Each structure stands twice: as C-alpha cells, then as structure tokens.
C-alpha cells in the first residue's frame, strides 16, 4: 500500500500565518504540521509516500522533509497540484505513483493520534474504499455517515447536515483501491468548481464497496487558529507527562 499526504491549499482560514508559508509547514508544538500525518502512515508500515502540494511555497517541503529519512521511509516523492481543484483532484496527481497498488490518503492538516496499523493491515488487499470516522459533538460541521437500522451498513454520507443522522464525522483519512483514478476521471465539479472527495466516496458506496473504520484516539483538523492552538497544547501536555 502506498501513502499519499495532501498538503496543498491556500490556508485562508489561518491568515496572516499563511502569507509567508504553506499551512502544513506551520508548527504544531515542536514539529511542522505535516510531520504528524506522515508519521501516522510510517508507523502503520507505509514507507513509500508521496506529498502532493501546490502554490508558491511548494518548494519549502523539500527543505523540510528532504528524502524522508527522518521518518524511516524507503521513498518520499512529491507532486505539484496546479490551482485549487479539490481533494479528489489533488489525489489524481498520484496516479502514476500508486500504479497497481492501493493507497492510504491523509490530509496534511489532520492529526490522528491513533494507531492505524491494524486497519492498514486488514485492508491491505483492498477491493473498494474505506473512510475513517470519529465521533464528534458537533457533527453538523462535517460530512456525516448515515447508517442503516443495524448501525453497521453505510446508507449515505451527508455534508454538514442540519439534522445529523449520527455523530460519526468523516475525517481526512481514506483508503482506496486502484480503481480510484478512473472514478476521479468520471467526477463532475461541484458548485465550488472542485472535485469533491465526498462524491468520490459516494461512487464507492453506490458500488457497494465502501467500508468505515472508527478512530478512537484524538483527531484534530488544524485548519483554524483555534484547532491549531488546541493541537499544540495537546502535544505540549503530552510532553510534560
């Protein structure tokens, strides 16, 4: 299984911090933000990873991450996304890199303090897709899973629902088989003009090939000043113990 870290975007919610750098290179306690998703993949045994980035600060990733030796990687590759085409568009940049393998995809601003080794091992010969979820107190802010009456089979994924059907929010960690790139090519842009990852996941759902896996530990999306500060405080407190 190959690993892909999506680290593009303009980081508008974090301005003025992101005027001078990509948001994924901002510090979270004692490490750049992008270190954490790379570590999550590496600790699960995924040592062939591509970072997809873009914008005027893309070259800074090479200065910070180099060849990936600090993570024990076999290979660290880079791809450049032109413009703001959405998560699925960024993932498409990795098609040649993934080849005939499956892939684990993580958003570069998502910190997942949970061991995903078992999930990666279980789905190593993946035929379909897996979305990872976390139970949250404010599901109306996220994409939320609607389950059937048994609470086990996914019926729908609803973006920012007014009346959430569950508290299981879809986080920025996914696993896909290598049919994902054909599916991306068949996606239509959303009203935002982007190729949406939710639409991609719904294609797998329509094929009956979408599974979900719950994250039990801490999950933080560091896309806002408040969440960035919360992540820094968490790792500061952990370091004191």
Q: What is the mean pLDDT of residues 228-232?
A: 93
**What residues pair up with 240 in beta bridges, in sequence order?**
none
Share the mean pLDDT of the chain.
91
How many whole angstroms separate alpha carbon 111 and alpha carbon 13?
17
pLDDT value for 49 = 98
| Residue 241 pLDDT > 80 | no
The model carries a pTM of 0.93
pLDDT value for 52 = 96
From 19, 40, 23, select the one nearest 215 (Cα to Cα). Answer: 40
Residue 59 φ then ψ, to 5°: -65, -20
| Residue 83 pLDDT > 80 | no
pLDDT value for 209 = 93
122 vs 52, higher pLDDT = 52
For residue 28, name the pLDDT band (cuts at 50, 70, 90): very high
| Domain boundaries 2-131+170-240, corresponding CATH code | 3.90.550.10
Q: What is the mean pLDDT of residues 34-53?
A: 96
How many whole angstroms separate alpha carbon 227 and alpha carbon 211?
28
Planar angle of CA 62, 86, 9, nearest 5 degrees? 40
Domain ranges of the chain: 2-131+170-240
pLDDT value for 148 = 86
At 91 the three-state DSSP class reads: helix
- SS3 string, 33-81, reads CCHHHHHHHHHCCCCEEEEEECCCCCCHHHHHHCCCHHHCCCEEEEEEC
Q: What is the mean pLDDT of residues 119-140?
A: 89
């Amino acid at each position: 299984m190959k690993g892909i870290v999506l680290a593009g975007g303009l980081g508008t919610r974090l301005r003025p911090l992101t005027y001078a750098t990509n948001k994924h290179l901002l510090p979270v306690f004692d490490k750049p933000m992008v270190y954490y998703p790379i570590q999550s993949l590496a600790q699960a045994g995924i040592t062939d990873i591509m970072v997809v980035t873009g914008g005027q600060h893309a070259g800074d990733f090479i200065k910070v991450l180099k060849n990936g030796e600090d993570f024990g990687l076999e290979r660290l590759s880079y791809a450049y996304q032109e413009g703001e085409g959405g998560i699925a568009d960024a993932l498409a940049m990795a098609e040649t890199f993934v080849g005939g393998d499956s892939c684990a995809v993580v958003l570069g601003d998502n910190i997942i303090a949970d061991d995903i080794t078992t999930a990666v091992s279980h789905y190593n010969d993946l035929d379909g897709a897996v979305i990872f979820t976390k139970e949250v107190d404010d599901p109306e802010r996220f994409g939320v899973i609607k389950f059937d009456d048994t609470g086990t089979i996914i019926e729908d994924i609803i973006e920012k629902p007014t009346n959430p059907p569950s508290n299981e929010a879809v986080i920025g960690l996914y696993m896909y088989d290598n049919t994902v790139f054909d599916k991306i090519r068949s996606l239509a842009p959303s009203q935002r003009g982007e190729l949406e990852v939710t639409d991609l996941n719904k294609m797998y759902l329509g094929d009956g090939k979408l599974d979900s896996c719950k994250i039990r530990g801490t999950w933080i999306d560091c896309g806002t000043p408040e969440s960035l500060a919360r992540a820094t405080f968490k790792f500061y407190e952990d370091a004191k113990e």
